[in-house]
Structure 1
């Protein structure tokens, strides 16, 4: 019995140690080209205008694509272990995306996630215990919100895309309305009165195709850094309100804008 207990303790320690080793980052993505600028438009809500002026000044870049790479910690199952991971998100700005994520143990990939949102269709190929799905309408709603939440890594899009609307609430809050097919979805965006930067996105999102009800989905911005030539969110945490703590924390390490991703976004793997 003592031998068995010692073996189990050793295996538990080995398992824990493997989860403390971060993966290597993905290789750098190929660079893009400058795609022009537009002036900051008048009439934005006060906290929104403040944020854009301190981020970009009087002109905004036109961003058509982004490749966002970094490392993360993921908790696929509520109450389960947290895995180190590396990720690459490929965006055709405001239209399509593909996610590739590797959860690792001792730096080696043990779970791989391939998911995409292309032409309004959500496709997920997930490891255990989540099933794969294609074309689920609730999955599409969730994916569309994911696309726009991740677009905080290319925030000029929220002003340069004519389908997006900002609505004033107060000096620290605004509503961000983004397209979803012929309809729209809404984020509540909360700003830090001291820094002028967004601190939280709130939206109602389906957790899965099997869930009949939406859950409040919170995206908190925990740190900021120079990325893509401007100061942008570096670390973000995604939380379902009923779980109370983040299921994913993403740390962005590289953003490449305006590369040709028309083929890359439709591939699989890294």
Structure 2
């Protein structure tokens, strides 16, 4: 069952779709600042993030450092604007703060900044987030703590050897309260992940390291809710949830394209993207 704080009830799949659309609108707005932002890999995370923050994680936005909170580490730190948007949508800080993204003296930096309410760890040097998660989960095990740690990784990030060192350690120590959530959008800045360093069969790779594996459509909130809220799934084994997603999701003219990796949406580009997402949001709200 979901382990959310007592301050709100877990959102269902329809409500989560609405939250995801709002998050995408906020991401696009942040990419309209003078510096731009990592658009594609943030858009692919929207449903994953809102499912975790609105229905799965035990947390309290009014007390981001509560001792009994579940932990989330965004290992693919270039998805920070997605994280900031999701935190603002959940109420960790006012959405007006997002307008300061990328400003010289603001806390909303290009990679996660722990000065921001709800951000657990600074990340962005790829390949280290799962190791942090192993440390957190090991502490939970030794303390007989019932909290959980979720680590969101990118699929291109899985080319880092340190990820698999952490995967071995997690299964060796039976860290069943650790969940790796893989944003499997199939692309990295240089193109297809399979053309750079093949990962398939990805599920079997995780299984060979002793992990329980679940594969879902990363944009289907019902599937995400079932997979993520059920952790731990297998006693004594960590879980990898492979989420099949689309880079740039929500903007059809850049979906599934490596060029969506980083963008500055100035002028007409911003207006076009915002209009597309507003139309999608209206449809989501009518079906919620």
TM-score by length of 1: 0.32
Q: Which has the higher contact order (CA 8 A, sep 6+)?
A: 2
- Scaled by the length of structure 2, the TM-score of the pair is 0.31
Q: Which has the higher strand share?
A: 1
